[in-house]
Structure 1
Amino acid sequence: MNYPTLHIRQLEGWLGFSRQAYYQYWQRQAGQVNSESDVIEMVKKLRKDHPKMGGRKLHDLLKEEMTKQGIKIGRDVLFELLAANGLLIRKRRRRVTTTFSGHRFRKYPNLIRTLVVDRPNQLWVSDISAP
């Protein structure tokens, strides 16, 4: 916000920080925004060739380039940055296929579907499929 009647010298006394600290804070904020946008561009450039590359591998590949540019971003901060910009890759759920009913062999009907069980040992069930 911009308050034309309020001077930084007045804020020094009220808030307890110096004018130098005020300007350093805003300079750090501006530098952080620039470095974040640079990192996002580097990630997008890498993802053009490798669209499914995960965050850890991205961090390892970009570490050298980031140090050349003087950007210090750790793995967790990179993950937060990717999440904030919608650049995280969703994990693929792998499901184990246990049954394949579309085989060419004879399929027997389910004889117990309509059976009403009313006493013990009336119905026994087993599975002969191979592990």
Structure 2
Amino acid sequence: MSAGTVPHVRHRSHRDRGSLVGAIFHSDHGSVYTSKAYAALCEQLGVTQSTGVVGTSADNSLTESFNATLKRELLAGRSAFPDQATAYRAVFRWANRYNTRRRHSAIGNISPNAYEAARSATLAEAA
């Protein structure tokens, strides 16, 4: 993990959500995600780390589905991006649309952001 990664992630997460307390981050067993520094960052932010069982593809089915959709909708037929910044912007725009405007049948044909907002409001009322 580079020194510049942690503040960038922390800034964006806090700007967008205000807090990550209670979030679950599911990853593979890569060295970045299993490092002491990353574990300390997750603890500091209140994020629970989750890793799948080695060799069990079902643990990553949600991520695999998301990545397949990204590849199909954004990358199919494209040979390459001219540079890293262009690739970053394209993926950012796609993810923004995916979360804010794209309707998902599994959650009642609303966007993930709308679903999360409705669920958060319901949880607050129940508390």
TM-score interval (norm. to shorter): under 0.3
Larger-Rg structure: 1
TM-score normalised over the length of structure 1: 0.25
Judging by fraction of residues, say which structure has more helix.
Answer: 2
TM-score normalised over the length of structure 2: 0.26
